[in-house]
Amino acid sequence: MQIFKLGLFAGLAAGALVAAGPAYAQVTLKVWSIDGNDRPGIADTYSKEFDEANDDIVVEYRAVPFDELVNETLRAFATGNAPDIVSFDNPDFALFSSRGAMLDITERVANSEVLSQADYFEGPMNSVTWDGKIFGLPKYTDTIGIFYNKDLFAKAGLSEPPKTWDEVVEYAEKLTDPAAGVYGATFSARAGEEGTFQFLPIIQMSGGGYDKVNTEGAAHVLDLWKQMIDNGWASKDVLSLGQWDSTGTFNSGNAAMAISGPWEVDRMVEDAQFDWGVALLPTVTEGGERSSALGGFDWGIMSTTQHPDEAFRLLEFFASQDNRIFPEFGNLPARGDIELPETGIEKKDAALKVFQEQLQFAQPRGPHPEWQKISKAIYDAMQQALTGQMSSMDALNQAQATIDGIVN
Amino acid sequence: MLKALSSLRDGVGFDILLVGAALVFLMALAGAPLIYNVLMSFQQVDMFTLGSLIRPFAGFDNYVAVVQQPEFWLVTRNTLIFVFGSMAGQFVLGFALALFFAQKFPGSATIRGLFLVSWVMPGLVVGAIWSWILAGDFGVLNVILRALGIIDANIFWKSDPAFSIWAVIIANIWLGLAFNMLLLSVGLAAIPRDLYEAAELDGANAFQRFWTITLPMMRSTIGAVLSLGLIGTLQQFDLFPALTEGGPANTSNVAGYWSWQLSFQLYDFAKGATVSVMMFLLVLFASVVYVRSTRHEVRG
């Protein structure tokens, strides 16, 4: 809220400046992203640096909450107030590029001296490509794994992280200690994209996908999750907690295992007063198929921009800083040409290796232009099963019927 | 001609001009979006056609589709619980506080003024604060209730399907309490003191004074407070994303938030418009009841 107000005042002030002194040929670029809401992030930091280093360009940064970003941009685009540069969660990008809202930068990328298409991983690059044209650049990529508290594991006589979901439940029971306020596990089963982000990989591991959600394996894991919640091995609040808050309980020692991603690592290094590690996301069956969520954001220039040249210059600057995003922000670059440096922080470097391995199994959400509807069907089913309103299989069957109506 | 002009300066023409200006203003700012919204609920709308007025006609398809959504009846039930729960809580507590502060004790005006704090706070901030208070494991409310011996185990206000809608209602009551209290305080202050004095001389006790003087004299104020409360409650949006996002499994979803979800989360603008038209009909019904109930009232 505060940031929004500041941005508004900055905008008014900048507008007044331009009106007062037309001789000063300054270009103003508006950048929107989710960074800077709860902690310093990539977009706000880089925007400020570029703004300070360039006299001819003013960069106005606005932090928009994750859940409102698409909606806010859509509204701004419809009323002609769209930002020049915006970064979207990767499943949302196709929505905009497929409908002419993003600027085609294929030529610019080909002629750029700073960046090259070949540097980027295929999955993230696909999310900014539509109809053979490039409409943006991947900002970073990420995925999820299972964090575990090694001290609590040792106390419970466990040495290895769980490999299957059945083991997660078995361990969670052993690790739960109500007297000490410790839950066995925590995750995010929220009514939103984060819920889908954590549950879709399980559907994929059991042989399904976003268009085939009612698999036996997915129903089985939902039953396991419900068992954990019902027995108090996981907090009931996993139904309303986001990933960042959910992992917060892990960091404070109140949960022994947590499902989350590399964006947690920096805070964990700082907050967690115990020995911890991270492992690949558990599978449905012993040695079964692996999957994981493919997350991450993309940069794009909106097609309504008045300053495409300057906007692309800013985009090039963002890309040129990609080697900083892991050491400084804990996000994984979406490029193969960046050698990730050893940070010297042992736990962080170990976590990085796991997440890089996990990325090989990461599968995208969609892509589908009506992704949001599919996503809602998935997280609604998950919540109906976890609150006991329907059996897991019935809930997934209902979601399947909804999804069939969208996909076919 | 001259006559018409002079009528414009002073006369019937001038009155019509004034009424006309107000009507144009209303039509442009309230009527047009409303009609556009109703229109949209009868059309097939997607992101391609969002900006244009001419779109394929859908008849009642959107209405049928909305009613057939699996969550429709749940959302309807929640909306009614939310509206009546919030209004009852805001009104009863607001009235009680207004009566309390009407007893002129030292500092009563100042403390009453402090209640304004809740009213000027943005809904999102209130939502975030209540989100911490109502947290299941470490929330303040659970700690207090446990210390008082009212509950043995933590209540998961935001995540338990039995409580989720009440989590939003509690926050909303807190948010609307000050507004109710202020309006009712003004109404109380307008009742002539001598009425009470006369009643007291006649031997009426406190309850009789309240029942025969305060309530009848407050009738129009109460009507206004309740109708504003209905509108304010149906309008309430910020608390939902901040507290429960309509979850778990839509058990705290209400029509207003659902309409937003359909339009701006799922980009199904036609269905979103349809839900809001249904809500509009509900408000219309409530206003008719309100207007009819106060029509015969003797004012002054």
Q: Which residues of A touch B (CB under 8 A)?
A: 1, 67, 71, 74-75, 78, 95, 99, 181, 190-192, 235-240, 249, 254, 370, 372-373, 376, 380, 383-384, 386-387, 389, 398
**H or E element in which residue A183 lies:** strand A183-186
DSSP string, A63-110: E--GGGHHHHHHHHHHTT---SEEEEEHHHHHHHHTTT-B---HHHHH
CA distance linking residue A163 with residue A102, whole number of Å: 42
DSSP 3-state of A112: coil
User: CB–CB of A267/A40 below 8 Å?
Assistant: no
CA distance linking residue B104 with residue B66, whole number of Å: 53
- Looking at residue A274, what is its pLDDT? 95
Closest among A61, A77, A78, A82 to A7, alpha carbons compared: A61
Which of A1, A99, A239 is facing B247, going by the closest CB pair?
A: A239
* Chain B residues inside the 8 Å CB shell of A191: 244-250
User: CB–CB of B227/B290 below 8 Å?
Assistant: yes
Residue B29 C-alpha, separation from nearest chain A C-alpha, in angstroms: 17
**CA angle B237–B242–B247, rounded 5-degree value:** 85
**H or E element in which residue A298 lies:** strand A297-301
> What sections of A98-206 are H helices per DSSP?
106-111, 122-127, 150-155, 165-175, 193-205
DSSP string, A331-370: PBPSBSS--PPP-S-HHHHHHHHHHHHHHTTEE-----TT
- Looking at residue B297, what is its pLDDT? 57
- Is the pLDDT score of B143 beyond 60? yes
- Is the pLDDT score of B14 beyond 60? yes
* CB neighbour list of residue B110: distance below 8 Å, 6 or more residues apart: none
Q: What percent of chain B has pLDDT over 70?
A: 93
- Is the pLDDT score of B253 beyond 60? yes
Which of B135, B136, B248 is facing A191, going by the closest CB pair?
A: B248
Counted residue by residue, chain A has a size of: 408
Contact call for B159 and A398, based on CB within 8 A? no
β-bridge mates for residue A277, sequence order: A148
Closest among A279, A276, A248 to A355, alpha carbons compared: A279
Residue of B299 and A175 predicted with greater confidence? A175
- pTM value is 0.80
Q: What is the pLDDT of residues B39-78, one digit of tens each?
A: 989 988 876 566 667 788 888 899 999 999 888 999 999 9
Tell me the CA distances in angstroms from A327 to A171, A264, A342, one per residue in order: 32, 13, 9
Contact call for B245 and A254, based on CB within 8 A? no
pLDDT mean over B172-186: 91
User: CB–CB of A366/A210 below 8 Å?
Assistant: yes
User: CB–CB of B282/B102 below 8 Å?
Assistant: no
- Looking at residue A146, what is its pLDDT? 96
Joined tokens for residue A174: 């052993």
β-bridge mates for residue A130, sequence order: A133
- Is the pLDDT score of B254 beyond 90? yes
DSSP state of B168: H
CA distance linking residue A77 with residue A69, whole number of Å: 12
Closest among A404, A355, A351 to A377, alpha carbons compared: A404
User: CB–CB of A114/A243 below 8 Å?
Assistant: no
CA distance linking residue A42 with residue A298, whole number of Å: 12
Task: Using the structure block, give the residue that is written with the tokens 């400046």.
Answer: A17
β-bridge mates for residue B267, sequence order: none
- Looking at residue A9, what is its pLDDT? 47
Residue B255 C-alpha, separation from nearest chain A C-alpha, in angstroms: 16
Residue B269 C-alpha, separation from nearest chain A C-alpha, in angstroms: 12
Joined tokens for residue B91: 């009104």
CA distance linking residue B242 with residue B15, whole number of Å: 48
- Is the pLDDT score of B28 beyond 80? yes
Cα dihedral across residues A102, A106, A110, A111: positive or negative? negative
CA distance linking residue A116 with residue A114, whole number of Å: 7
β-bridge mates for residue A120, sequence order: A335
ipTM higher than threshold 0.95? no
**CA angle A209–A210–A214, rounded 5-degree value:** 70
Residue of A11 and B157 predicted with greater confidence? B157
CA distance linking residue B83 with residue B81, whole number of Å: 6
Which of A237, A370, A383 is facing B135, going by the closest CB pair?
A: A237
Counted residue by residue, chain B has a size of: 300
* Chain B residues inside the 8 Å CB shell of A1: 122, 124-125
DSSP 3-state of B273: helix
* B234-237, Cβ contacts within 8 angstroms, sequence gap of 24 or more: B234/B79, B234/B83, B234/B279, B234/B282, B234/B283, B236/B82, B236/B86, B236/B123, B236/B172, B236/B175, B237/B123
Joined tokens for residue B176: 């609307």
β-bridge mates for residue A88, sequence order: A298
Instruction: Classify B227 in phi/psi space as left (phi over 0), alpha (psi -120 to 50) or beta.
Output: alpha
Give the residues of chain A that fall short of pLDDT 50.
1-23
Contact call for B249 and A389, based on CB within 8 A? yes
